[in-house]
Amino acid sequence: MTSPLLLSRYKLAAFLACPQRFELRYLRRLTWPAVPRPEEDEERAALGRQFHQLVQRHFMGLPVDKAAIGDARLRRWWDLFAQNQPDLPDGRILTEVTLTIPIGRHFLHGRFDLLVIGEEEGRPFAHVFDWKTGKAQDEATLRRDWQTRLYLALLAEGGGALWGESAPPAFDPEAIRITYWYVTEPDRPRTLPYSQAEHRQNWEELTAVVSQIECHLESGEWPLADDLAQCRWCSYQIYCGRGEGDTAVPEPDESEEELLFPDVEPALP
């Protein structure tokens, strides 16, 4: 039997896009055979990292010296955040906190930019905030996104671990929500609530995806993507044999957060 997997939203999305890419990247850990990222992408990713660090610093109660922010775009992002930061509910603020829960013999894993937990009318709640420096998405797209689905499910199934000693085992889905804040639309944060019914369906689908991964682990077979559009920008064309090999560039579906916090799998028992 293979070792248990630590499954992040990137891994779930990669598996659903192309099982072969998931295997090459996350199981065989082949390095990307791609040409270097365009300079502009590198620069934007670096700025995204720095922006998250500034916001984290702010919520840790440390001063942010705007005059010391050298890059004009980053300074502008910080201004936009300072002028439009979403209201936080009263509660305990946790920055860059991670949560890992079991699913079958594997684990689901997420890292929250910011999480507020507390009580509202005597009922525990959890509210995730996520900072985005890319293109703003509409609420329907965000609701389907694996980040949303994974983060809400993590809290509904195992969020109590963040509460403390007298922890409830998890949060009631009705008391969980996530807010996405975009530098590109700073005055229009998107807040998505959750519910029992959504969680039942979400958890069922997550379990089904993990079961599919388990089946492929057992068979050792990792099919190529059905959707050829997935291959167009895939960095693994030269490994799977579907492509020219010298035209691959890094995948555009990788968001800045993965560059910020690459998934490092801890040793599991």
CB of 20 to ligand SF4, least distance (A): 4
- Binding part of the chain for ligand SF4, among 18-26, 128-136, 204-212, 261-269 by CB under 6 A, reads 18-26
Residue 167 makes contact with ligand SF4 by CB under 6 A: no
Per rule CB under 6 A, count of chain residues that contact ligand SF4: 13
Distance CA 61, CA 93 (A): 11
- Binding part of the chain for ligand SF4, among 112-120, 157-165, 222-230, 257-265 by CB under 6 A, reads 222-230
| Contact (Cβ atoms closer than 8 angstroms) between residue 75 and residue 161 | no
Residue closer to ligand SF4 (CB basis): 20 or 179: 20
Residue 225 makes contact with ligand SF4 by CB under 6 A: yes
Residue 14 makes contact with ligand SF4 by CB under 6 A: no
| Contact (Cβ atoms closer than 8 angstroms) between residue 13 and residue 21 | no
| Residue spans of beta strands (DSSP E) within the chain | 6-7, 92-103, 106-120, 123-132, 176-182, 185-193
70: its two tokens? 């050298």
Distance CA 24, CA 225 (A): 13
| Contact (Cβ atoms closer than 8 angstroms) between residue 213 and residue 3 | no
When binding is defined by CB under 6 A, the residue of 9, 11, 21, 109 that contacts ligand SF4 is: 21
Among positions 229-268, residues that touch ligand SF4 (CB under 6 A) are: 230-231, 234, 236-237, 240, 242-243
Q: 3-state DSSP call for residue 252?
A: coil
| Contact (Cβ atoms closer than 8 angstroms) between residue 94 and residue 159 | no
When binding is defined by CB under 6 A, the residue of 8, 14, 20, 260 that contacts ligand SF4 is: 20
| Residues forming the site for ligand SF4 (CB under 6 A) | 18, 20-21, 224-225, 230-231, 234, 236-237, 240, 242-243
